[in-house]
A and B are shown apart, each in its own frame.
Chain A
Amino acid sequence: MLTILFDGIAYGMLLFILAVGLSVTLGLMNFVNLAHGAFAMAGGYATVILMNGYGVPFLGSLPVSFLAAAAFGLVLERLLYRRMYQRSHLDQVLFSIGLVFMAVAATDFLMGSQQQIVRLPDWLRGRVEIAGVGIGAYRLFLVIVCGALVIVLQGILSRTRFGSQLRAAVDDTRVARGLGIPTGRIFAATFAIGSGLAGLGGALGAEILGLDPTFPLKFMLYFLIVVTVGGTATISGPFAAAILLGIADVAGKYYVPRLGAFIIYIFMLAVLILRPNGLFVRGGGR
């Protein structure tokens, strides 16, 4: 029972790391980016290539997966995404679906359509016993890493100069620009960090979520759920939503495997009907 709860939390934390970038682009910049999973996939594949092709250890490949996805995100943002910020939602949807399709087909072409396997180091396999609860070592590792990241992110957003500039740029882009805040650069940096985090999540999650070319399509809805259910005004909302989703998904698959993914969809539909702006919205969410 507690093991399931813990697995759920680990899964939820992973989802949060994957989706937090989206919660910034979607929630703060109001950009519907369905291609977010493509960056996660890029990070996952970067890890696979490094580990299997060059013998880089797992821990060493994680930062690279972050950097690879962030660089990928930065290039795309400067080249393409930037032009889309002011467009209608329909344009953004079509644009990002197009990117997803390109990413899926290109990955299939370059890497093949099979599942990729990330070999974890020995000390991350097996289980540990904490207060009588058996916990997978890798799950514990995930919770620690992701938990640390959440704290760092919250700190950056609320304490640093960059954080307050970002919040200002989001609240009112025109006024922020008038005050001399380089909004374009801020958005680009944010987009890159969000993509990098997704890449890191993809690398961390390859073991649990699996990694194949259809990854961006398979998990698109999960990311969107985290952001919409969590509301987009804060970082804690999506975090709570991700944990909730993780626990519900793991517990659902364990206790009522026949229902499978239904629980998630029904839960999300219910939330969207009752609270169209998300569960954890403070005041006027967008």
Chain B
Amino acid sequence: MRSATASAREKARQAVADATRWQTPELAFWAVAIAAIFLFPSRHLLLNEIAIVGLFALSIDLILGYAGIVSLGHAAFFGVGAYTAGLLAKAGIGEPVAGLAIAAAVAAAVGFATSFLVIRGSDLTRLMVTLSVALVFVEIANRFESITGGVDGLLGISMGPILGLFEFDFGGTTAYCYSLAVLFGMFLVARRLVRSPFGTSLRALKENRLRAGAIGIPTARRIVTIYTISASIAGVAGALLAQTTAFVSLEVLDFARSADGLLILVIGGSGYLYGGLLGAIAFALMRDALSSLTPAYWMFWMGAILVALVVVGRERVVAKFAAAVDRLRGSGS
């Protein structure tokens, strides 16, 4: 009997180990991301933006793709992180990594506090709750003008060198390297998380919350945990934006930012972590191309892309892509 449990445990451990092994396409992705430093020396600002947006999308993927929570207000945590980092820098704590850690902690605290609102209710209730939490934060940032600068934004942020070693430059090279390093770090955390038994239990509760509860998964606690982690990562993304652009405006809390995040996940596909990153790249390229055609009406095209993707069926698009990845994988191994 005991040996049976032991062998079952061994099997489970083996399964986790198999799932966490690095695949060739994954390594290739990160190799390209690093190579981009040298391949596109003049586009580092854009690359930096992609890394930040990708990190934000990754944080949404954690709750959407793994826990099945549709949020319309994830920009709240992005904004909290951005304002925290910006205000810290203004208050004299100009060291970026310390600012990042504090921003992550503050965003996590806010995420934890609001996570209890998303446990209960239907999809619709959750949409409303997340949306209105984000709006409350916009209102707060708007009202406390003396602190946040209101609609003018937070000006006069001066960042110190990273760890006292690397100064930010105008071309954005340091910024991109810094953001990429943080993105990779956060990605490792997320990857470890979703491929652990914890991640498996999340997927179980996404599929069927009632049954997940019935086999002994504490669903409410799982949701609180993943929501807090996701909020924290979104906060880090916001802090990165504040630090690398030395500016924070009300835009960081905008509804459009939450919607952008969802769109990116739709483009890239959710539930396998790379969706947010690949989506962010596609999103930035599309934005670049379409804005140069009609600068003011980028929003129209974004809407059109969303509608088209959904009407055609995002599962179909993702399935096609997944098939292509599988083929790559098949030829690689």
Contact = CB atoms under 8 A, between A and B. Distances in A.
Interface string A160-178: 0000000000000000000
A190 to B, nearest CB: 19
A280 to B, nearest CB: 15
A98 B304 contact: yes
Given A95-B307, A101-B306, A225-B128, A262 B300 contact: no
Contact of B297 (A109, A224, A260, A277): A109
Contact of A102 (B125, B131, B139, B307): B307
Interface string A62-96: 00000000000000000010011001011101110
Interface stretch (A5-13, A116-124, A204-212, A267-275): A267-275
Contacts of B300: 101-102, 105-106, 109
Interface stretch (B255-263, B274-282, B324-332): B255-263
B125 A94 contact: no
B142 to A, nearest CB: 9
A93 B297 contact: no
B165 interface: no
A99 interface: yes
Q: Interface of chain B, helix or strand or loop or mixed?
A: helix
Interface in B131-169: 131-133, 135-136, 139, 143
Given A91-B314, A94-B263, A102 B304 contact: yes
A261 interface: yes
B117 A276 contact: no
B255 A217 contact: yes
B21 interface: no
B120 interface: yes
Contacts of A141: none
B5 interface: no
Given A221-B135, A273-B117, A276-B122, A94 B306 contact: yes
A254 interface: no
B124 A105 contact: no
Contact of A97 (B122, B136, B143, B259): B259
Nearest to B140: A262
B284 interface: no
Interface string B168-190: 00000000000000000000000
Given A89-B123, A101-B303, A260-B143, A269 B70 contact: no
Given A80-B307, A261-B139, A94 B266 contact: yes
A61 interface: no
B317 interface: no
A100 interface: yes
B193 interface: no
A99 B307 contact: yes
Nearest to B259: A97
What bracket does the count of chain A residues touching chain B fall in? 35 or more
A272 B72 contact: no
B33 interface: no
Contact of A268 (B127, B128, B310, B311): B128
Contact of B124 (A32, A83, A101): A32
Contacts of A94: 262-263, 266, 306, 309-310, 314
Given A32-B124, A84-B310, A91-B310, A100 B303 contact: yes
A224 B128 contact: yes
A135 interface: no
A213 B298 CA distance: 15
A260 B139 contact: yes
B143 to A, nearest CB: 7
A224 B72 CA distance: 13
B296 A108 contact: yes
Contacts of A108: 296-297
B70 A93 contact: yes
Contacts of A93: 70, 72, 127, 262
B305 interface: yes
Given A104-B299, A260-B139, A276-B122, A98 B128 contact: no
**Which 4 pairs of residues, A with B, have the shortest CB-CB distance?**
A98-B306, A101-B303, A105-B300, A102-B303
Interface of B: 64, 70, 72, 117, 120-125, 127-129, 131-133, 135-136, 139, 143, 255, 259, 262-263, 266, 296-300, 302-307, 309-311, 314
